[in-house]
Amino acid sequence: MTTSKDELNVFLLEQSNVRGVHVRMDEAWSQVLQRRDYPAGVRQWLGQALAAVTLMTATLKFDGKLSLQVQGDGDINLMVAQATADGGVRATVEWEREPHMSATPLEAFGERARLSLIISQAAGEDYQGVVELSGDNLGDSLAGYFKQSEQLLTRFWLASDGNRNAGMLLQRLPDEEDQEGWSRAEVLGGTLFSEELMATDGKTLIRRLFHEEDVRLHDPREIAFKCGCSREKCGAMVVGLGSEDARELLIESGGEINVDCEFCGSRYSFDGIDLEALLRGDMGDGSENGTLQ
Ligand SMILES: [Zn+2]
């Protein structure tokens, strides 16, 4: 048995001009799974989404949070996976029924499903891109997005089970005329099996797969489960209902409004005194959330 750290490795196949990213997040994944009992047919999508969004943080320049969100009308209604630039990850999913294990994205999320990638910057404007659901898995859909919107050839390998979650991304860097390097890297990546991807630590896997290539390996980045929820944010949500509705909710819920975080399970409770303090605090600053009746 090997014990592994949760980490992300970025590497460059120098001769081939291909960028690679590998992530392994067993401990962070087990913390995501602790929250609820996910059936395997749901869990596999959450694992794919969380590994993919974490891999993508290494291909983008940003200092905030990257979210992968699928909203649909199929077996799974809503899935959100997020990774921050400093390696924090979290994810949650709501489902109607467990999709078949071999379901395609369109079958699992429905014909009208919408996959969005949202970059929330610590400072500056948010960016949102819409990804068309296609192929056999989320990696195929995301590869299609990179090709269409960025003209970048990209491949994803994603694998997870009840204990392990891992992924690898290869991306051909721009300004490269020679197609051969990319084809070679893609073929080498294609020899990777899910079990090998889940069971091997990043450095070993990268060296093994690309031992004939000129590999430049960057320092690993630590990955950890981190939830950005707070009492302040949940309080703002309550205030967002508007004072009438918030007071009504307080009565309906027996004198205490409980807000549960979908990502980490933390509960934030607000009694009547808390609520009035919240409403007073937010009424004065021009906050326009909610409607007053
Ligand atoms: Zn939370």
The DSSP code sequence of 150-217 is: H---EEEEEEE-SS-EEEEEEEEPSS---SHHHHHHHHHHHT--HHHHHHS-HHHHHHHHTTTS-EEE
Examine the pLDDT at 287 and tell me if it is beyond 60.
no
Print the domain residue range for 272.
231-283
Residue 288 lies inside a defined structural domain of this protein = no
Residue 293 lies inside a defined structural domain of this protein = no
Mark whether 217 and 236 lie in a shared domain: no
Q: Which two tokens stand for residue 168?
A: 């690898």
Mark whether 215 and 237 lie in a shared domain: no
Cα 234 to averaged position of ligand 1 atoms, centre (Å): 10
Find the CATH number of the domain harbouring 26. 3.55.30.10
68-111 tens-digit pLDDT: 999 999 999 999 999 999 999 999 999 999 999 999 999 999 99
Average pLDDT, the chain: 91
Number of domains in the chain: 2
Mark whether 85 and 161 lie in a shared domain: yes
Cα 231 to averaged position of ligand 1 atoms, centre (Å): 10
Report the alpha-carbon distance of residue 177 to residue 169 in Å, rounded. 21
Mark whether 73 and 166 lie in a shared domain: yes
- pLDDT band of 124, cuts 50, 70, 90: confident
Residue 290 lies inside a defined structural domain of this protein = no
198-210 tens-digit pLDDT: 999 999 999 999 9
Residue 269 lies inside a defined structural domain of this protein = yes
Cα 120 to averaged position of ligand 1 atoms, centre (Å): 17
Judge contact between 185 and 168, C-beta under 8 A: no
Examine the pLDDT at 157 and tell me if it is beyond 50.
yes
Find the CATH number of the domain harbouring 263. 3.90.1280.10
Q: Among 177, 210, 225, which residue terminates a domain? A: 225
Cα 198 to averaged position of ligand 1 atoms, centre (Å): 27
Mark whether 203 and 249 lie in a shared domain: no
Report the DSSP beta bridge partners of residue 129. Answer: 117
Helices 231-240 and 272-283: angle between axes, nearest 10 degrees:
80
Q: What residues sit around ligand 1, an ion, with C-beta below 5 angstroms?
A: 227, 229, 261, 263-264, 266
- The H helix count followed by the E strand count for the chain is 10, 14
pTM assigned to the model? 0.89
Mark whether 156 and 264 lie in a shared domain: no
Judge contact between 260 and 209, C-beta under 8 A: no
Report the alpha-carbon distance of residue 269 to residue 288 in Å, rounded. 23
Any idea which of 11-25, 66-80, 139-153, 177-191 has the lowest mean pLDDT?
177-191
What amino acid occupies position 168?
A: M
Instruction: Give the per-residue pLDDT at 52.
Output: 98
Cα 208 to averaged position of ligand 1 atoms, centre (Å): 38
Mark whether 132 and 166 lie in a shared domain: yes
Cα 266 to averaged position of ligand 1 atoms, centre (Å): 5
- pLDDT band of 34, cuts 50, 70, 90: very high
CA distances from 17 to 54, 76, 172 (A): 22, 38, 6
